[in-house]
Amino acid sequence: MRFFPFRLWMIVLALSLGAGAATAQTQRVVPESKAQIQLSFAPIVRQTNGAVVNVYASRTNRRQNQSMEEFFRRFFGEDVPGLPRGRSQSSLGSGVIVDPSGLVITNNHVIENMNEVKVALADRREFEADIVLRDSRTDIAVLKLKGAANLQAIEIGDSEALQVGDIVLAIGNPFGVGQTVTQGIVSALARTQVGISDYQFFIQTDAAINPGNSGGALINMSGQLVGINTAIYSRSGGSIGIGFAIPSSMVRVVLNSAKGGARNVVRPWLGARLQPVDGDIATGLGLERPTGVLVTSIYDKGPAAEAGLKRGDVILQVDGQPVDNPDSFGYRFTLKGTQGQTPLTVLRNGKQSTIQVRLMPPPEIPPRDPVRGRARTPFAGATLVNISPAVADELQIQVADEGVVIADLDERSVAASVGFEKGDLIVAINGERLVSTRDAERLIERAGRYWEITVNRGGRVFTTVLGR
């Protein structure tokens, strides 16, 4: 509390300067009127707080699938009891109304694995909500309130216009105590390597963000949404002035996908594998400092190959915006959409050039041709599909020329209990290599009590033996 009056005075001074009440100078200036002393964020809060909501999500687990118990008894002679009925989980977070019809943006981790979602408005009305779209890669989810209309919505601003030092407000429901407003500044932009989501590119702020603020609004001084509060860095669980928000530019991408009726966010596909440029690579390439992303491999039928991108090239910019690692490249490239072209600034053999890359979604070639694992096999509850650039992008794995991958997995299935995971590439069954799902179907049908299954998981290949 000792530092609060000084901080408040600095805010008053900054607002006074911005309003033209005093000239820029290094010395402190005494307020000249009562109006200057009473400067407040209240008008912005009144303009926006009705669009910030509380999100309650819950899940009730049901008894374990009996086929799992039968499988274990058959192969291992074990009896696996079912889970108790009625075991429940719950979560509490915040959300933001972005459309008067009742579209709400929140964090995916607030509703992840939940099957019931309710939203409480600032005026205490409550609505059940459908999950329209969830995107774990950006940690954003879109909800639709049932029976809602003509709600107060917030205008989405331009996070690209933010500058370090801009004043922002965070509105949410920390610790479930009720709607709370905190104030701070933009501490940093383009924060990556935070470990929150795949598309790591965050606004950092010192506005107090605590548990329960997740999914809440980060507001600029025009009353516009510039970010969705997502996470904090903390040793104690409370705010220490290091909070992170997803930029509104990425929020808009996810929201537009939801409004277009998509169940998933479709991102542009480069068709190349990238890695950061470290100090040694920068020295070898003659760069003054580590910057850009290094192209390590090219998919021979992708947009990168079509544009003439080569292994060893360094991508420095996407449409004039600098990129320093694969995370920032993924963010900038995703914002360009899946139509038309975008320019990439490339360094090759010490010379910079600009190439135009076609924007397109990853192709689904070959077709998925899904096969569902049948009962009384280790694959019961798993869906196998042919791998393609689209499947690889969806599952966040490296694309392969051919193969069969687990695209879906019931969390309480035999396949999950055996140890399979979504995204596992099934290399071989009982010594026979799989090229397509037709091979998988044939080998699963033919196998008996003994199973020898070779799996590629994130580049690590191992073999599991089941049966006796």
Is 139 designated active site?
Answer: yes
Q: What letter does residue 119 receive in the DSSP assignment?
A: E
Which of these is catalytic: 16, 91, 135, 139?
Answer: 139
Q: Which residues of 270-280 are buried (b: 16+ CB within 10 A; e: fewer)?
A: bbbbbebbeee
Q: List the Cα angle 445/448/451 in 5-degree steps.
A: 95
Judge if the upstream peptide bond of residue 366 is cis by omega within 30 degrees of 0.
yes
**How would you classify the pairing of strands 432-433 and 404-409?**
unpaired
- Helix 248-259 vs helix 326-334: angle between axes, to the nearest 10 degrees? 50
* Annotated binding-site members for substrate: 109, 139, 212-214
- Amino acid at position 167, single letter: I
Is 324 designated active site?
Answer: no
Which of these is catalytic: 16, 99, 109, 393?
Answer: 109
Is 99 designated active site?
Answer: no
Q: CA 30 from chain center: how many Å?
A: 46
Which of these is catalytic: 91, 94, 197, 214?
Answer: 214
The pair of structure tokens assigned to 284 is 């070898």
CB 215 within 8 A of CB 110: yes
CB neighbourhood size of 376 (10 A)? 13
Q: List the Cα angle 114/115/118 in 5-degree steps.
A: 90
* Annotated binding-site members: 109, 139, 212-214
The position carrying tokens 């010395």 is 27
Q: Would you please indicate which residues are annotated as catalytic (active-site) residues?
A: 109, 139, 214
